[in-house]
Each structure stands twice: as structure tokens, then as C-alpha cells.
Amino acid sequence: MDAARFQLAATPFDVATLRAGLLDPGVGAYASFEGWVRQHNDGRPVRGLRYEAYAALAATEGERILQQALQEFDILDARCTHRTGDLVVGELAVWVGVTAAHRAPAFAACRFVIDEVKARVPIWKHERYRGGQTTWLP
Amino acid sequence: MDAARFQLAATPFDVATLRAGLLDPGVGAYASFEGWVRQHNDGRPVRGLRYEAYAALAATEGERILQQALQEFDILDARCTHRTGDLVVGELAVWVGVTAAHRAPAFAACRFVIDEVKARVPIWKHERYRGGQTTWLP
Amino acid sequence: MTRATVLYFASLRDAAGIASEVVDSDAVDLAALYTQLRARHGFKLERDRLRVAVDATFATWQDKLREGSEIAFIPPVSGG
Amino acid sequence: MTRATVLYFASLRDAAGIASEVVDSDAVDLAALYTQLRARHGFKLERDRLRVAVDATFATWQDKLREGSEIAFIPPVSGG
């Protein structure tokens, strides 16, 4: 069996390697999305954050989303990796990569995957602010 | 002055380097698109292709598209690099990278840029097929 | 009484002060179990803001407690 | 007569057999210039499928020929 399409990464991960896993002579279009840690959220200065996951459920739910994308869009592959643990401003939090023959389904599926991951996968963001306060989002 | 946002590349170029040029602590969302050379086009087996550009006009028209994207969408930056010369199947033909605070405008602007580049920038694709035939597209 | 393991995440874990516990409960279903544990730990989250999972699969609040199962209450997620 | 440089790309270049040429023309505008050059080189592309550029800026077919300018006929593009 191939590596799972949805992965949690406890340490920084390399987008170039993930992208290389999607290379295929049938691909004409590669759409990707990355979430990076911003220095502000809702006007508050962010120092960093921690992502916590319910790993077993996140894996099955993430995989389900990618399988749905493969069924609903005319694409060749779809993958997603999400960080857990402590991140600082500027760090990569999540990557979605989708390949297709043509660009319209690649874009649509990429958007679908990140929207569904944010809505459904059991991962929680704990933000640390300058000044020392912290909060769970949302 | 910064490097131009729109670039032509006569040789293979590195996406990781271009992406790194967009790093900024205000970025929450990075959307990218890449066009790769497919082994088939309209059912014909492609051996490779050549992109030819009217470089001076391509540069100004490409830059105009990226400036339009910056005006029309709530994004932080938008860049595009397009290959010229001979490419084989699997090679990277074009890259678009867009950064924003949030994902909706990043996706929308990325789609806008690739659509406009394909429609307006004076670059022509010359395909070589197995069997030796060639043709200019479209 | 049914014995099950309960997992806590994010704000629920902070409120409970523990990441998991083994409970013996007479709750008729998962909804009733949350009501009991909410009272015990002082959770602020209303049940309708949560989802519930059993053995790492989403479940419904009307599902019965199963002996030896692993139950998780899922606060609103915020990945991505 | 006005002297200008004309650039050919893609299928126009293949048909002309040259990438550029210097022309002396009495064409009243760029549309008339294309008609003359189309007859000379046997271009198949109708004018309404092309755009025209002068000195690396898009122009209109009604623009006059300017002495010393660089004119390009732009076939349908296919980048990306």
C-alpha cells in the first residue's frame, strides 16, 4: 500500500518532496495550497501556536476527504499534510496538493480539500500572543 | 527595484526558490498553480514541446496581469514564471504563486492569473508528437 | 455500569486537567455520558457544539456506551 | 513610404520563413499592412484572429505605420 494521502507531521515537512510524489506524465495541472502561521490573527499579535490532533480520527477523516475529492472531481491525485506541535510565525501549517489533466478541477478540488479539512478534521489550534496570553480557537 | 513579478525562464527553474521569495509574516495563505507537460494532448501522444515568446511584450503583459491581480483581490503578492524553449513530458511549464492573509482571495487571484496568462501573454506552444509530426497550438 | 475510556482534547482537556480517564457510567447513551462528565469537570461547551467519536470513528449522541470502548468529545476544530 | 520592422512568431514565422523583416510600405494603417504581408507570405490566419503590437505594446489595427517602429502580428496565444 502507498503512503496515506493524508498525513500528520510532528516536525517541519518538505513541500518539494510531497510535490515530487505527485509527478506523473498524465498531469497537466498541479494546484497547491499552504497555510502559514501569520503574525496577527483577528488583530492580536501572534507569537506562535500549537496544533493538537486526535491522530487516529484525524487520519481516517482526512483520508475520507481526499477520497471524496478523488470521486467528486476529475483529478488524478490529492494529498494533504498537516503539522502538529509547536509552530512559530512563518512556519508551514498545512499543505494540500492536487493533480489533474486540466486546471479547473485541480483548483476546485484543492479548495474543497482545505475547506473540508478545516471544517471536519479533529485538529485544534492553540495560539500564543505577545504578552503571554493563550487561547484555543475558535 | 525588486525582480519583476512576471518572468520568462529559458531554462528549468526552481519553484522552492520562487516560493521563498513570497515568505512574509503577514501571509496566512499561499495558493500556487503549476502547468506540467502532459504525455497526451487531445488524444495525441506528446513527445515534448517548445514554448516561444515575444519576450518584450510578454514581460509587460505578464506584469500587467499581476498588477491587476494585486488591485482586484485582497492579496499580498502575486508572481508568475513561464518557461520558454524545449521541454519534455513532465517538465514544469508555468508557475503562479499568490500570497494573502486568507485563502479565498489567494485561490481566486491564482486562478485569475493563470487564466489571463493563458489568454493574453504572447507565448506559443509548439508540440512534437510521437511519429515526428509537430504543430502550433491552438 | 459500563466501563469506557474518555479522551479530552483542546479546551475540554484544559478544563478537565487530564487527557483521558477511565469512567464507569450508567449513562444510557453518549449524550447522557457527556452530561455527567460536563457536571463533573465543569465543561463550558454545550453538547450541540461538539461531535462525538467512538473508537476513532464519528458516532451519534444516541449511541449506547459500549464496554471497553474509547470515547472522544470533539470540540469545534480549528486546523488549517 | 514608411519603413518599419515586422516580427513574425509561431505559425506566421513558419509561413514567412523568417523571424523578422524590414518593410517599406504605403499601407495607411496596420490592418492594410497585414493585408499586404499576408498576400506576400500566404498567411492563412485571418486578421480578426490576430492582435497587433507596436514597439512591444498592444496597438489597434487602425493605428498608422510609424517610421522606424517595430510591428508584431500576434497569433492566438497558447502559453500555460
Q: Determine the Cα–Cα distance for residues D18 and B54; give it in Å rounded to an integer.
A: 15
Distance from CA of C1 to the nearest CA of A (A): 26
pLDDT at B30 over 50: yes
Cβ contact, residue pair B36, A30, below 8 Å: yes
Query: Tens-of-pLDDT digits for all 80 residues of chain C?
Result: 999 999 999 999 999 999 999 999 999 999 999 999 999 999 999 999 999 999 999 999 999 999 999 999 999 999 99
Mean pLDDT of A118-131: 95
Long-range contacts of the stretch D13-19 (C-beta < 8 A, 24+) = D14/B136, D15/D41, D15/D42, D15/D43, D15/D44, D16/D41, D16/D43, D17/D41
Radius of gyration for the alpha carbons in chain A, expressed in angstroms and rounded: 16
CA of B89: which chain A residue's CA is closest?
A: A25
CA of B115: which chain A residue's CA is closest?
A: A103
CB pairs under 8 A between A and B: 84
Distance from CA of D75 to the nearest CA of B (A): 8
Q: Determine the Cα–Cα distance for residues C75 and B106; give it in Å rounded to an integer.
A: 28
Joined together, the cell numbers standing for residue A84 give 502538529
Cβ burial B55-68 (10 Å sphere, 16+ → b, else e): ebbbbbbbbebbee
Taking the CB of residue D62, how many other CB atoms lie within 10 A of it? Answer: 10
Predicted complex ipTM exceeds 0.85: yes
Judged by CB atoms within 8 Å, which residues 15-34 of A form the interface with B?
Answer: 15-16, 19, 23, 25-34
Mean pLDDT of A26-55: 95
Mean pLDDT of D40-51: 96
Rounded to the nearest 10°, the torsion over CA D25, D27, D29, D32 is -120
Q: Determine the Cα–Cα distance for residues B26 and A43; give it in Å rounded to an integer.
A: 11
Which chain C residues are closer than 8 Å to A53 by Cβ?
A: 79
Of C10, C53, C56, the CB nearest to A136: C10
Judged by CB atoms within 8 Å, which residues 13-52 of B form the interface with D?
Answer: 35, 51-52
Return the pLDDT at B12: 98
Q: Which of B14, B23, B27 best tests the A interface by mutation, with the highest count of A CBs <10 A?
A: B27
Strands (E), chain C: 2-7, 20-25, 51-54, 57-59, 70-74
Question: pTM to 2 decimals?
Answer: 0.95
HSE of B27, CA atoms in CB hemisphere, 13 A: 24
Task: With H, G, I as helix, E, B as strand and everything else as coil, classify residue B1.
Answer: coil
Q: Determine the Cα–Cα distance for residues B3 and B10; give it in Å rounded to an integer.
A: 16
Mean pLDDT of D59-71: 98
Return the pLDDT at B2: 57
Return the pLDDT at C35: 98
Return the pLDDT at A41: 87
Q: Estimate to the nearest angstrom the gap between the alpha carbon of A76 and the chain centroid.
A: 18
Mean pLDDT of A2-31: 94
pLDDT at A10 over 50: yes
Q: Hey, where are the domains in chain B?
A: 6-137
Confidence of residue B1 (pLDDT cuts 50, 70, 90): very low
Return the pLDDT at A1: 44
Mean pLDDT of B54-81: 98
Judged by CB atoms within 8 Å, which residues 45-104 of A form the interface with C?
Answer: 51-54, 56-57, 60-61, 82, 93-94
CA of B137: which chain D residue's CA is closest?
A: D78
Mean pLDDT of B81-93: 97
SS3 content of chain D, % helix, strand, coil (to 5): 30, 30, 40
Chains that touch B (3 or more CB pairs under 8 A): A, D
pLDDT at D48 over 70: yes
pLDDT at B57 over 50: yes
Return the pLDDT at A138: 82
Distance from CA of A26 to the nearest CA of B (A): 5
Cβ contact, residue pair B124, D72, below 8 Å: no
A8 touches chain C (CB under 8 A): no
Q: Which CATH architecture has domain D2-74?
A: Roll (3.10)
Return the pLDDT at A2: 57
pLDDT digits (tens, 9 = 90+) for D16-32: 999 999 999 999 999 99
Q: Which CATH architecture has domain A6-137?
A: Alpha-Beta Complex (3.90)
Q: Hey, where are the domains in chain C?
A: 2-74
